[in-house]
């Protein structure tokens, strides 16, 4: 029996499941969002949340742990894709396989390369995770991703589709720094309160506040109108 096993196997072998989570996590870090089925998105979300939490600590130890979980792959920026497609096979090999730095790809062109022919080299997903993604969530204790369910279904098995994306760190910082709570009530909560007031015999509340203020204002208006009519008769 599957005791003490929190993850879902999704009808896959352990090696296949790990490869699927790594590939989807790498694509999520590279592009910011991925479109997949809802069960895959939920499983990948748990994996990515733990990965970013480890990467937030920084340092060589956190990098080693993140690399052991995620592995690494080369990635190109979108603005360099057209120029990369026009290169020869030998130049592409240098762009993708050439390692800059001692330990990992940092996106810096080595000094031995001809920069007129190879003006850029590939960076890595792990570098983007450690240098860009994880530091942006430094002040956020979890909740780095969100799942948006789509109305359309996948063709073939009618599976539920969803978008798994990284939360915008700028919106998160603004919401956390404001410290203000919303003063409006939800529609369901307002209906429940109106029902309680009716059963207990109290007057229903209006949006502006208590009903007494509105009732106090009404006679004052009627008295002013009466004075105006008397002056007009005189």
| pLDDT digit string, tens, across residues 79-129 | 888 999 999 998 888 888 765 544 456 777 777 788 888 888 888 899 999
State how beta strands 33-37 and 160-166 pair: antiparallel
Determine the pLDDT at residue 42. 95
What is the sign of the dihedral through the CA atoms of 193, 199, 202 and 207? positive
The maximal CA–CA distance of the chain, rounded, in angstroms, is 105
Question: Rounded CA gap, 211 and 205, in Å?
Answer: 6
Question: Rounded CA gap, 107 and 101, in Å?
Answer: 9
CATH of domain 14-76+122-171: 3.90.1030.10
**Which tokens hold the place of 8?**
């879902």
**Which tokens hold the place of 208?**
């502006």
Alpha helix ranges (H) inside the chain: 14-31, 38-56, 59-70, 81-85, 89-97, 125-128, 134-136, 169-178, 187-199, 211-233
Residues 6+ apart with CB under 8 A from 204: 194, 197, 198, 211
Determine the pLDDT at residue 97. 76
User: In the chain, which stretches have pLDDT less than 70?
Assistant: 98-105, 172-185, 204-234
Question: Rounded CA gap, 216 and 102, in Å?
Answer: 80
**Which tokens hold the place of 38?**
């809802």
Determine the pLDDT at residue 184. 52
Determine the pLDDT at residue 101. 47
The overall pTM is greater than 0.75: no
Determine the pLDDT at residue 102. 42
């Amino acid at each position: 029996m599957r005791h003490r096993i929190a993850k879902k196997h999704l009808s896959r072998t352990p090696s296949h499941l790990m490869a699927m989570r790594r590939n989807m996590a790498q694509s999520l870090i590279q592009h910011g969002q991925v479109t997949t089925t809802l069960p895959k998105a939920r499983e990948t979300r748990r994996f990515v949340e733990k990965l970013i939490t480890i990467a937030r600590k920084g340092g060589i130890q956190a990098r080693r742990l993140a690399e052991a979980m995620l592995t690494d792959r080369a990635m190109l920026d979108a603005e360099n894709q057209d120029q990369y497609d026009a290169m020869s096979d030998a130049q592409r090999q240098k762009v993708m396989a050439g390692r800059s730095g001692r330990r990992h790809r940092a996106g810096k062109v080595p000094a031995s390369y001809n920069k007129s022919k190879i003006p850029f080299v590939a960076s890595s997903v792990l570098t983007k995770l450690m240098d860009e993604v994880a530091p942006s969530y430094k002040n956020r204790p979890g909740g780095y991703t969100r799942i948006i369910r789509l109305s359309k279904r996948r063709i073939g098995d009618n599976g539920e589709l969803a978008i798994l994306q990284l939360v915008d760190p700028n919106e998160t910082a603004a919401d956390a720094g404001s410290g203000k709570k919303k003063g409006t009530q939800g529609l369901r909560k307002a209906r429940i309160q109106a029902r309680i007031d009716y059963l207990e015999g109290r007057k229903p509340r209006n949006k502006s506040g208590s009903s007494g203020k509105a009732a106090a204002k009404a006679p004052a208006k009627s008295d002013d109108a009466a004075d105006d009519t008397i002056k007009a008769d005189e």
